[in-house]
Amino acid sequence: MLEEIILDNGLKLLLFPMEKTEALTILFLTKTGSKYETKNLNGISHLLEHLLFRGTKSWPEPTSIAKELDRVGGFYNAFTDKEMLGVIVKVAPENFVLAAKIVAEMVSQPLLAESGIAKEKKIVIEEINMRQDDPPTLVGDLWERLLYGDQPAGWPVIGAKEVIEKMGRENLISHFKDCFVARNSIIIIAGSFKSPEAEKIIKDSFSRLPGGKGVVKVLVKESQNLPAIELLSKQTDQTHLCLGVRGFNVFSPQKYVLEVIAALLGGMMSSRLFVEIREKRALAYYVKTVAEEYTDSGYLVTQAGIANSRVLEAIEIICHEYRRLKTELVLEDELSRVKENLRGHLRLHLETSEQFATFFGVQKILKDKVMTPQQEWKQIAKVGQDDILKVSKEIFQPERLNLALIGPHHNKDSFVPFLLV
């Protein structure tokens, strides 16, 4: 059973003991990311994520933390998204104290040494270069820029090379102090442990985390009355595209309907778009539809890598399937199959301590409330044929369509006539 505790400094602690596991996961999450940044410091949260591993008071050398966790066979990683930064460490239960101390120092006492900053900036720039050479990843950034434009929601989490190069230690220290505060953060322990012992270990380790309020992010502004297209003309062997619509935020009950719609369209190998685009016409190797929800925005998008000469055909197919959902009831048999697929995914994605930590932690940092897997499934199970029809009629409108493409094309206006639903 999940237990929630608020420590004296305001840090929220979630405890999820698990039986029949030889692992223990510590996940620290704080509210930062590109939505919490200014344009001249876009990418600073991601750069900080890199620097957290490059030394603390007790582990001052750049590889000290890695060596210590490698010595006990630990798994460790970090990530930055639009609205959060996470540090995760997974160890055997007897190394709980060590792991807690390491994570606590990383998020409260990183050295942020000048030499380390210079090296990590070069590494991040190479990461940006890598994304530029990876169209399936790059088109996702292009898609969000198309949706949100020149505001934090539209900026890439990784930042831009010219911005990263100009960041100084003072900028990093200031952003760190603003964001890495107890009331802005949560910590989740999942796996093999006893709750009273875990609470004491976390209290002892994380008492140094200051109790400030944290940074307030800028709310997303959305306005659209015509279909929109963003084209990055690039010599590629395929055209990579994202075609979709604005959706719902993480608090909306309609998000469950959208998740069912996404699975029905492109969430399975037997989904409508996978069958039509790949199996029947061999237009693509990959095609998928996903629903994404943030605290103040959301969307549904279909992404695919298409033969350059057949892009218009693929766009017509996607729009046709969008149109079907707002004009035809989904058959009960298909709807049941899709929902059971989502149920299976939910169960299979919650087998390990780090998966449970992430499941509960992301909910808590975004919504400040947590649903159990069973409660989550009940919301999906309630989605009916009429719900899908109603939501589809709302979102699949020509003026809400957005198309981002990367490929050897030069006239984005040539795609406009095909954006009809």
Q: Are 246 and 299 in contact (CB under 8 A)?
A: yes
Residue among 105, 86, 92 at smallest CA distance from 188: 86
Q: Among 145, 174, 206, identify where a domain stops.
A: 206
Please write the tens of the pLDDT for every residue from 135-172: 999 999 999 999 999 999 999 999 999 999 999 999 99
Q: Is residue 197 part of a domain?
A: yes
Same domain assignment for residues 294 and 150? no
Domain assignment present for 220: no
Among left, alpha and beta (phi > 0; psi -120 to 50; other), residue 76 is beta
- CATH number reported for the structural domain that contains residue 333 in this entry: 3.30.830.10
- Cβ atoms of residues 358 and 27 within 8 Å: yes
Both 21 and 135 in a single domain? Answer: yes
Percent of the chain with pLDDT over 70: 100
188 and 337 fall within a common domain? no
Would 217 be classed as within a structural domain?
Answer: no
Q: Are residues 342 and 250 in the same domain?
A: yes
Of the CA atoms within 13 Å of residue 156, those in its CB half-sphere come to 19
> Are residues 20 and 138 part of one domain?
yes
Contact 316, 418 (CB under 8 A): yes
pLDDT value of residue 421: 67
How do residues 190-205 score in pLDDT, each as one tens digit?
Answer: 999 999 999 999 999 9
268/194 same-domain check:
no
Reduced to 3 states, what is the DSSP secondary structure of residue 89?
strand
> What mean pLDDT do residues 73-101 have?
98
> Same domain, yes or no, for 237 and 352?
yes
**Cβ of 237: how many Cβ atoms within 10 Å?**
10
Q: In the structure encoding, which two tokens stand for residue 217, read together?
A: 């992010």
Q: Are residues 292 and 173 in the same domain?
A: no
- Number of domains composing the chain: 2
pLDDT tens column, 50-64: 999 999 999 999 999
Predicted pLDDT of residue 383: 98
3-state secondary structure of 226: coil
Number of residues that this document lists for the chain: 421
CA–CA gap between residue 409 and residue 239 (Å, rounded): 9
SS3 280: helix
Q: What is the pLDDT of residue 419?
A: 87
Residue 190 resides in a domain: yes
Q: Identify whether 21 is part of a domain.
A: yes
Domain that holds residue 268: 228-418
Whether residue 212 lies inside any domain: the answer is: no
Residues 298-338 have pLDDT tens digits of 999 999 999 999 999 999 999 999 999 999 999 999 999 99
Q: Are residues 252 and 198 in the same domain?
A: no
Are 263 and 120 members of one domain?
no
Query: Residue 91 to residues 27, 76, 207: CA-CA distances in angstroms?
Result: 12, 9, 22
- Asked if residue 119 is part of any domain, the answer here is yes
Q: Check whether residue 363 and residue 403 sit in a common domain.
A: yes
126 exposure class (CB count in 10 Å sphere: 0-12, 13-18, 19+) = exposed
**DSSP structure string for 112-175:** --HHHHHHHHHHHHHHHHHHHT-HHHHHHHHHHHHHH-SSGGGS-TT--HHHHHH--HHHHHHH
**Using an 8 Å Cβ cutoff, are 339 and 260 in contact?**
yes
- Comparing CA positions, the residue from 298, 22, 344 lying closest to residue 147 is 298
The single residue listed with the structure tokens 């925005």 is 297
Q: Are 388 and 325 in contact (CB under 8 A)?
A: yes
Q: What is the pLDDT of residue 417?
A: 85
CA 143 to chain centre: 14
Number of Cβ atoms within 10 Å of the Cβ of 286: 15
**Range 4-18 average pLDDT:** 96
Output the six-digit token pair for 367.
């919504």
Interval 366-409: pLDDT, tens: 999 999 999 999 999 999 999 999 999 999 999 999 999 999 99
407 pairs with which residues across the strands? 233
Burial of 131 (0-12, 13-18, 19+ CB in 10 A): middle
**Shared domain check, 200 and 87:** yes
Q: Looking at the domain assignment, is residue 93 inside a domain?
A: yes
Give the residue among 69, 397, 53, 414 at the shortest CA–CA distance from 229: 414
> Measuring CA to CA, which residue among 139, 132, 343 is closest to residue 244?
139
- Report the alpha-carbon distance of residue 116 to residue 270 in Å, rounded: 48
